[in-house]
Structure 1
Amino acid sequence: MLQQAPLVWGEIAVDNMDRAVNFYETHFNVSFSRKTMDGMEMAILETEEREAASIGLVKHEMMKPGTDGSLLYLHLSDKLTPLVEKLHTAEVNVLLPVTPIKGGECGFMSVFIDSEGNKVGLWSKLG
């Protein structure tokens, strides 16, 4: 058994960095620091805990947005339903409405399509 959580970093591919940053900042009330590293344009989600696992929006020729492949679940709200209703009102494509995991015992999840065409999950302890 691992001594620590295995997730240290996640990347979400983007075609248009300004559009992607605006999408996430608008809908999830988060902020990003933007950097260019080795030809890779990045926007790194800012967190209070600098050592916490986090995500970055990444624009690079090796990265293509899409709905196939890995699915990241983001914890961006204490209660999921108001957040997903806000996305729905903003006409964001919600693929999976708020759904309990094991009857809510393991929290709640939802899946949406972001501005770049990525399938992204949301998770929260409360529905």
Structure 2
Amino acid sequence: MGVLFQGAFWYRGNENVLLTFNQKEFPMSVYLITYDLNSPGQKHGKVLDKIKAFDAYAPLSESSYAVFSNSSAQAIYELFEPLIDDNDRLLVIPMHKPYYGFHRGDVIDWMSKHLPTCN
């Protein structure tokens, strides 16, 4: 599968947000991954490689990304855990509407399109 660049967001494969497993559909969630690597020998490149391996991701700031995944927040964190130590910080947070803030138009459009609404 090739990689399709669309605006500021990278997609791997198709852009469907439903996965099919054993003939059941599972919606994918959007998570915020935010981190600060504070230790000598920081592993920024390896962290970014893991982020870019998700089906879709969007850069929100220098060290914050939105990613699509059918995994839990804990499972996503565990992917990154070997890359961080006690001086580093990394959070995986489910994203949903409503949200408030100021950002580039393409980022706001992407979030409006992909984030679920939380009642």
* Higher fraction of helix: 2
RCO comparison, higher one (Cα < 8 Å, 6+): 2
TM-score of the two chains, using structure 1 as the length reference: 0.25
